[in-house]
Amino acid sequence: MKGNIIEFGEFFHKNKFIPLILHWFKKNQRNLYWRKNRSLYLTYLSEIMLQQTTVKTVENKISEIINIFPSFNSFKTKKLEHLLKVWSGLGYYNRAENLFKAVTIINNIYHGELPDNRDSLISLPGVGKYTSSAILAIGHNKKSFPVDVNVKRLIQRLSGLKLKDDEVENILNSACKKKISYRSLAESMMDFSSIICKKNNPNCSKCIFSNFCESAFKSFENNKNIKRNNKQIDFYLINSPLHICFIKKPKFQYYKNFIHLPSNLDEEFIANLKLKNKEKIKSFKFVITNNLFQINVYKFNLEKFNINNSVWIEKSKTKQLALPTLFKRILN
């Protein structure tokens, strides 16, 4: 298949790409929580949660968040720490921070209504081009073509070309000759690329486009090795008879807005304690973004002390804290 982007759009139109995928979608769409309980708030929340997180993980978590934050308005009576606590386990906690900031803006400036134009959406913390496109198409059913890695892969395989995001959008725009449900088109491409045109081992035998797909029945294997930075860090579990010591301003610069367990990076804090007779109680590997940490945990028993930056939490209350998964694993 050769030609410019407009010609590709015409080719897709001629081969009935849009009506075919919409027809497939009616019979095969995924039964996702935010589709069964559709609202602008759920569309927005799910799109933020889906950033760098799998659909399955979000499916397992979203109802827990909805129980505490059922609407934009519900944020008015809550604090960031409440959201961070229920967000625990999803990772990428800056998303939760941006979510809280963005909903505050939605409530204060847009009177609790999710904006329906790109400029206003992109002005919200944590909302970029893709998320704004998804909200416009899926939430507001406006003409917009959200292009994530899955949709891009689908169009690239069909065309046999390596394309930029805006080129994929232009192809879809050219293929779209009449008014349709832009919500259904966006969701159908997401589902088709997840169920049929998968990254590895696409199911070409069940593909409705195999008669004109430039990549049909080719082998796609995952040979990409993820390169991670290997690092090591020691965390200190400092116990008094009834309490555990945390610190407010750690040198470990992940998980902002959380209290932390002290680590070997907190040199000044640790030096003041003059810790002796440390006992190594566990060791494990833990991935944070592109870093693979070797985590070592040492236990110390001390009488409760008062040093700037220290926070003592009753052992019986640690499970109620908003803590990232790493610290939960250490405490457990």
| For the chain, the helix, strand and coil percentages under 3-state DSSP, each to the nearest 5 | 45, 15, 40
- The yes-or-no answer on residue 221 being catalytic is no
Residue with tokens 């040198």: 251
Transcribe 260-291 into DSSP letters: B--BTT-HHHHHHHT--S-EEEEEEEEEETTE
The rounded radius of gyration (Å) of the Cα atoms in the chain is 24
Round to whole Å and give the CA distance between 101 and 321: 21
**SS (HEC) of 137-178:** HHHCCCCCCCCCHHHHHHHHHHHCCCCCHHHHHHHHHHHCCC
Q: Which of 7, 47, 268, 303 is catalytic?
A: 47
* Residues marked as catalytic: 47
